[in-house]
Copies of this chain bind each other. A is one copy, B any other.
Amino acid sequence: MPIYKAPVQDTLFVLQDVLRTQDYGNLPGFGEATPDLIKAILTEGAKFAEEVLQPLNLSGDNRGCKRDPNGRVTTPEGFQQAYEQFVAAGWGSLSVEQVFGGQGLPHFLSNALQEYLISANMAFMMYPGLTLGAIAAICAVGAEEQKARYVPKMAAGVWTGTMNLTEPHCGTDLGLIKTRAAVQADGTYRLTGTKIFISAGEHDLSKNIIHLVLAKMTDSPDNIKGISLFIVPKFLVTPDGALGERNLVSCGSIEEKMGIHGNATCVMNYDGATGYLLGEKDKGLRAMFVMMNAARLGVALQGLSQSEVAYQNAATYARERRQGRALRGPQCPQDSADPILVHPDVRRMLMTARAFNEGARGLALWGALQVDLANVASTPAARQDAEDLIGLLTPVFKAYFTDQGFANAVNAQQCLGGHGYIREWGMEQFVRDARIAMIYEGTNGIQALDLVGRKLAANGGRALRLFTGQVSTLVQHTLTEPSVAEFAAAVEHGLGDLQAATQWLIRNALMKPENAGAASTPYLYLLALVSMGYMWLQMARAAAVGLTEHPDEHAFYAAKLDTARYFFCHLMPETSLHKIRVEVGAEPLMALPAEAF
């Protein structure tokens, strides 16, 4: 049976030693998040993840969700009870505003906790995860009456939410959707159409499901400019907030898929279902993007979380499994063989995962802090900076974390040899579950296009300048600090590659956008690695301080520096390769005629 132990000490190191969130105590919501409260919540949440959710992960995968002929969907055994506990503990509403019944705590704290919960059971956490996205969209563009009607129940977890975008013939290109909304005399709409790949579309965990659905009004243009967003509750809600009649929306089938079997991925049929316009007519995509951006950061966490749990299981196996002898001579001569952790190539796989996990955790928490600062920082300029930074890096985190999370899950599986391929060990589930995160909420290729096509160019490149300026400042400060100078030099080199690639894009992609398209994925990787280097440099610096100030935690801080070193020796040098690929341009990609494929 797979194991999981939430990395609470690592989280606290990032929050307190690196990001120093305690220094923001004067900001709204931050004051409540005292170091003691943070530690208490993380410790309690870790326990829930380890003891309640993790034991349901493998069994949830084996059982999957079942749909009966009437369209009712049953989640795997144990999910209902776990969801009740989840709701009772308030895990889903940590960062929801207090006015809606949430706890109003900072995002960095809920983000820290989410990582644990998703490591323990990714499929389960999609139910409340999508609810958070739906809450964000309703809060962003909904009328006060809509917020009051839906958000408190969703924040409490009594109701859950979904996103309904994809249709059989369109995923990325939402201009092609066919679902129609016809206005009724009472101002409501009748929605008709079919949506596919709807995660948590139908299930038995909550009393109601609030579907947010993209559709075209009958008098709107039949293209990307005619899309509106609607609230379509499974059960209509009466004016007093009680559940009314069953709406004409139903689950037509559950998709048979590669993984996340514990989550019901549904075909949803809208057969004249009653819907309520959310936000403005024909501006549905804008509202959907609010939800999508929150969701993309959540998906980035899925990449990290699956990498972490897979790493933990592989490391445990490598410490225990005895096979062969160390190249430097037997390490356990009294036993028949040494643990496979003595083999450098096994360590290569584990260290790659570890260096990613710790760097990505740092970035995820840094990103969540930016989300908080974008909301509550004390000056408009500080709020704008935070919004610029998280806007720029959202597609980077989504694509890089999920690509690498999957790759690390595959490497972790590899550490177990044949046992990694057998279901009972649970490693192959991590691989299958992690795989979806590279696809949904916009494929990773779409993230790369969002980065080079929108985020880089927005406001004259302001966000990238801000980010590279911060990296550069840190590099200048640390190049002369003996404990981290070698790392600073590595970041400087990576930053140079990034700046050269950016200049190349400016010179070559404005007139020929295919050069931007061809460069998009390698450019995203370049920026990701510079971000990781930026975070690792901060973490190494904090660890060097910790080594001096906390001799009792020597092993912890020394391990951070060892892992930093691995990151800078093995992973950071990839930037040069990505720079070369950016500068190749589109021609070698586009030369082959379509019919030759």
Contacts and interface: CB of A to CB of B under 8 A. Distances in A.
B570 A584 contact: yes
Interface in A155-192: 166, 170-173, 175-176
A418 B566 contact: no
Report which residue of A166, A323, A418, A514 has the largest number of chain B beta carbons within 10 angstroms of its beta carbon. Answer: A418
How many chain copies does the complex carry?
2
Interface stretch (A279-287, A376-384, A438-446, A464-472): A438-446
Contacts of A513: 327-328
B421 A257 contact: yes
Contacts of A259: 421
A435 interface: yes
B444 A414 contact: yes
Contacts of A420: 439
Given A345-B517, A591-B562, A172 B324 contact: yes
Nearest to A340: B172
Contacts of A341: 594, 597
Contacts of A506: none
A322 B172 CA distance: 10
A310 to B, nearest CB: 13
Given A439-B418, A588-B565, A596 B555 contact: yes
A581 B512 CA distance: 35
B443 A414 contact: yes
A47 interface: no
Contact of A584 (B257, B569, B588): B569
B566 A577 contact: no
A573 B580 CA distance: 8
Chain A interface residue number, banded: 35 or more
A333 to B, nearest CB: 13
Contacts of A315: 597
Contacts of A417: 171-172, 439, 443
A1 interface: no
B345 A448 contact: yes
A521 B449 contact: no
A428 interface: yes
Contact of A257 (B428, B512, B573, B593): B428
Contacts of A345: 445, 448-449, 517-518, 520-521
Nearest to A223: B336
A139 to B, nearest CB: 27
Given A171-B323, A258-B428, A344 B440 contact: no
A298 to B, nearest CB: 17
Contacts of A343: 445, 517
B597 A318 contact: yes
A500 interface: no
A59 interface: no
A323 B170 contact: yes
Interface stretch (A17-25, A346-354, A473-481): A346-354
A431 interface: yes
Contact of A344 (B347, B590, B594): B590
A89 interface: no
A323 B565 contact: no
20 contacts: A172-B417, A176-B337, A196-B418, A327-B516, A328-B512, A328-B513, A344-B586, A344-B590, A350-B597, A351-B588, A354-B597, A410-B435, A432-B432, A555-B596, A559-B593, A566-B589, A573-B577, A573-B581, A574-B577, A576-B577
Given A346-B445, A351-B592, 13 more contacts: A171-B323, A257-B421, A257-B423, A257-B428, A328-B514, A344-B517, A345-B521, A414-B443, A414-B445, A421-B436, A559-B596, A566-B589, A569-B584
Interface of A: 166, 170-173, 175-176, 196-197, 255-259, 315, 318-319, 322-324, 326-328, 336-337, 339, 341, 343-351, 354, 406, 410, 413-414, 417-418, 420-424, 428, 431-432, 435-436, 438-440, 443-445, 448-449, 512-514, 516-518, 520-521, 555, 559, 562-563, 565-566, 569-570, 573-574, 576-577, 580-581, 584, 586, 588-597
